[in-house]
Amino acid sequence: CFFHMVVAHQPCPPSSRQEKEKLRDIELPIIDLLGERSEVSKLIVKASENFGFFKVINHGVPEHVIKVMEDESYRFFSKPASEKQRAGPANPYGYGCKNIGFNGDYGEVEYLLFHTNPLSISQTSKTISNDPTLFRCAVNGYVEAVRELACEILELMAEGLRVPDTSVLSNFLKDYDSDSLLRLNHYPPLPPLQLLQLLNTSPNQPPSRIGFGEHTDPQILTILRSNDVAGLQISPQEGLWVPVSPHPSTAFCVNVGDALQALTNGRFLSVRHRAMVNSCRTRMSMAYFGAPAPNARIACPPELLSPQIPYLYRPFTWDEYKKATYSRKLGDTRLHFFRVQ
Ligand code: GA4
């Protein structure tokens, strides 16, 4: 096992719900994309099967492309609330504050959500920045670079899975109508729970340290970049939470989405995760969600099936899956509604 396990010391007295939760430190594999290709593809497959999460370094996304996007993101979130509201509400694209989706989910986060289609980016940018051209270029440049990275990883996955057509997965993201998204998250610091209870600022709303509640990503692949503030946690099994360190700072964190779990007939895992807020520092993250086109058919390639492992999921279109996603709560499991009985 390449994961080093250490039981972590829990810093705060846990609430009743958290009492049932165990925290454990596990180092996610850090995969150097400049390594020998067949080795790299094996490591990616192994991590996707075991954890559904891994980090990549030497990923080819230029530092300045990341920095320009981070700076623009920071500039937006530093604006007064009334100005930010002009880019909202997220419906689903645009600015959102604390409300997530349309079914009453709530988190200690503010965010910008974009469709990655250049036309849509251009429209949304107009409401976001005093210099929409600069903002649009930052988003387009970032999206293009992370899409390329996502496609490279999907090709390495297909090679590692020995699927003859190694572009079957990446083609979903290369489609002009791909429904991929970009999400910029801003988690302002929140004092520790004990302090909040003492201050008793909002007696009707119990204080929470959850920035973005537990969920799986519906799409194919997520490419996440964050500043150096911790907060992401993954849940490889029920009741167990593993904090993901934000190091090394040059890495991207990659995770398998529901659609990829279905495309690999359950071999790769779409793992539940959440983001916690920090007590003293602001966390910023940028997530690219690589998705198929609405009419794309999600079905496992026959090479991944065997008499012992028949179809786990019925074929479905991305549109169908997206509708199922948006009609439910953030933390609901959606993929099992598509399971073959
Ligand atoms: C989780 C992953 C992405 O952030 C997201 C989220 C989306 C939203 O914020 O609009 C959803 C959530 C996410 C899954 C369930 C539904 C839809 C909020 C929600 C309650 C953009 C996505 O694609 O699905």
> What confidence tens digit (pLDDT) does each residue in 259-268 have?
999 999 999 9
Q: Give the residue whose CA is nearest to atom 1 of ligand 1.
A: 217
Minimal-distance CA residue to ligand 1 atom 5: 217
Q: Which two tokens stand for residue 128?
A: 């976001």
User: What are the pocket residues of ligand 1 if the criterion is a CB atom closer than 6 Å to any ligand atom?
Assistant: 92, 100-101, 103, 105, 113, 181, 183, 215, 217-218, 289, 325-326, 329-330
- Ligand 1 atom 23: the closest Cα is on which residue? 218
Q: What's this model's pTM, rounded to 2 decimal places? A: 0.92
**Predicted pLDDT of residue 58:** 98
Measured in Å, residue 236 CA sits from the centre of ligand 1 at 20
Say which range, 178-182, 292-296, 310-314, has the weakest mean pLDDT.
310-314
| Gyration radius of the chain's alpha carbons | 20
Cα of 81 from ligand 1 centre, angstroms: 23
In the chain the beta strands, taken as DSSP E runs, fall at: 5-7, 22-26, 30-32, 53-57, 94-100, 105-115, 181-187, 210-215, 221-226, 232-237, 240-243, 252-256, 272-276, 283-290, 297-298, 316-317
Omega before 89 cis (within 30°)?
yes
Q: Which atom of ligand 1 is nearest to the CA of 334?
A: 15
Please state, rounded to an integer, the average pLDDT across all residues of the chain. Answer: 90
Give the tokens for residue 62.
């230029």
C-alpha to C-alpha distance for 317 and 338, rounded to whole angstroms: 11
The pLDDT, as a whole number, for residue 13 is 42
Q: Please indicate whether residue 29 or residue 130 has the higher confidence score (pLDDT).
A: 29
- CA proximity to 176, closest of 90, 288, 296, 94: 296
Looking at residue 19, what is its pLDDT? 57
Pocket test for ligand 1, best of 330, 333, 335, 337 (most atoms within 8 A of CB): 330
Active site residues: 283
ipTM over 0.95: yes
Closest residue by CA, ligand 1 atom 2: 217
Distance 162 CA to ligand 1 centre (A): 31
Write down the H helix ranges in 180-317.
193-199, 258-263
More confident residue, 193 or 334: 334
